[in-house]
Amino acid sequence: MPSLNPAVAEIRLAVRTALADLPDGATVLVALSGGADSLALTAATVFEARARGMKVLSLTVDHRLQAGSDRVAATAAATAERLGVDDALQIEVDVSGRGEGLEAAARDARYAALRGVAGAERAAAVLLGHTLDDQAETVLLGLARGSGATSLQGMVSNREDEDGLRWVRPLLTVRRETTRAFCAASDLEVWDDPHNTDARFARVRARENVLPVLEAELGPGIAQALARTAEQLREDAEAFDEMIHETIEDIVEHAEAGISVTVAALAANPAALRNRIIRLVVDSEFGASLTRTQTLEVARLATDWSGQGPIDLPGCSAARRGGRIVFTAR
């Protein structure tokens, strides 16, 4: 009996582990572009789902950004059918935007399509083909933006949205080269998206220019180190979040047209905890994200009070009133 190809074995194990939390007989939706990552994910999911009585669907989203994109989508769907999915779905989306805006618009349209189909098909989870290399690029881009520990946490391997739909990334521990080896061993024809080599996109520049230089100058293992950093920061953030929610219960009160925080308690907390509380209060109450500069200005209302007036923030304003900082909707 011939031995199983190592790449095939690694990816099947990653998928089996990711599916372990889902019930037998559940429906899962695989995001399929036709690239090596999503093809390997689709093939491994079909294989692993058989023993669990799961229904596997694939969805190929045609962003209509390139000539012949409809043929690419049709080819990917046909491949999925040969692999044995229960239904290979296709959908066209409208994308508007340019440069980095184009990338974000395409992502938003794709996720909206996946969410819509998953809801219609009553899928328990959407499986995404992001790899360890994608994770490393995400962390590196977050570092370049200087947007704090949250952005350095990268992508989560498993999360549940407000509707109970799970978003699962089984391949976050798998290298991109392993997915290509899987496809080669499985005789799967891979489509290479031209956007993956388009230097207009920061992610492509990080992949093609920055990471290779880091590997050459600092030694191998940079991608793995960045992925480990994301995992460790996520663990820290989860512990921090528990502390924040416990603290918020004692120092936050609802106010007219907004919410307020006790000045003394806010000032007594360490800066890292204080700033997280401010960001969380504004995000949860007004659905807005604060920059670091905005967060620090609000913190000064508690730690460096000299009579300064209200601070305009996204969706709200913050002002010190007596012993409280009051956030009011604008």
Q: Where are the beta strands (DSSP E) in the chain?
A: 27-31, 55-62, 87-92, 125-127, 158-160, 166-168, 252-255, 258-262, 311-313, 316-321, 324-329
Higher pLDDT, residue 143 or 135: 135
What does the pLDDT look like over 267-311, one tens digit per residue? Answer: 998 898 899 899 988 988 898 889 889 999 999 999 999 999 899
pTM of the model: 0.80
Whether the pLDDT of residue 146 is over 80: the answer is no
Tens of pLDDT, residues 255-279? 777 899 999 989 998 898 899 899 9
Which residue bears the tokens 């009585």? 53
Instruction: Give the pLDDT band (50/70/90) at residue 104.
Output: confident
Contact between 57 and 27 under an 8 Å Cβ cutoff? The reply is: yes
The 10s digit of each residue's pLDDT in 226-261 is: 999 888 888 887 787 787 777 787 788 887 778 999
> Residue 198: what pLDDT?
84
Angle, helices 271-286/222-251, rounded to nearest 10 degrees: 80
Residue 74 CB: number of other CB atoms within 10 A?
15
Using one digit for the tens of pLDDT, what is the confidence trace for 72-100? 999 999 999 999 999 999 999 988 755 55
| Mean of pLDDT values over 146-156 | 75
Task: Report the CATH fold assignment for 6-218.
Answer: Rossmann fold (3.40.50)
Q: Where are the domains of the chain?
A: 6-218, 256-329
User: pLDDT at position 322, please?
Assistant: 87
Cβ proximity of 8 and 97 under 8 Å = no
Among the listed residues 267, 288, 268, the one whose alpha carbon sits nearest the alpha carbon of residue 330 = 288
Please report which confidence band the pLDDT of residue 121 belongs to, taking 50, 70 and 90 as the band edges.
Answer: very high
> Which tens digits make up the pLDDT trace of 3-21?
899 999 999 999 999 999 9
At residue 53 the predicted structure's pLDDT band, cuts being 50, 70 and 90, is very high
Q: What pLDDT is stored for residue 150 in this prediction?
A: 67
- Tell me how far apart the alpha carbons of residues 93 and 160 are, in angstroms, rounded to a whole number: 24
pLDDT at 148 over 80: no
Torsion of CA 46, 47, 48, 49, to 10 degrees: 40
Q: Residue 177 — very low, low, confident or very high, per pLDDT cuts 50/70/90?
A: very high
Multiple choice CATH, 256-329, 3.40.50.970, 3.40.50.800, 3.30.465.60, 3.40.50.11270 = 3.30.465.60
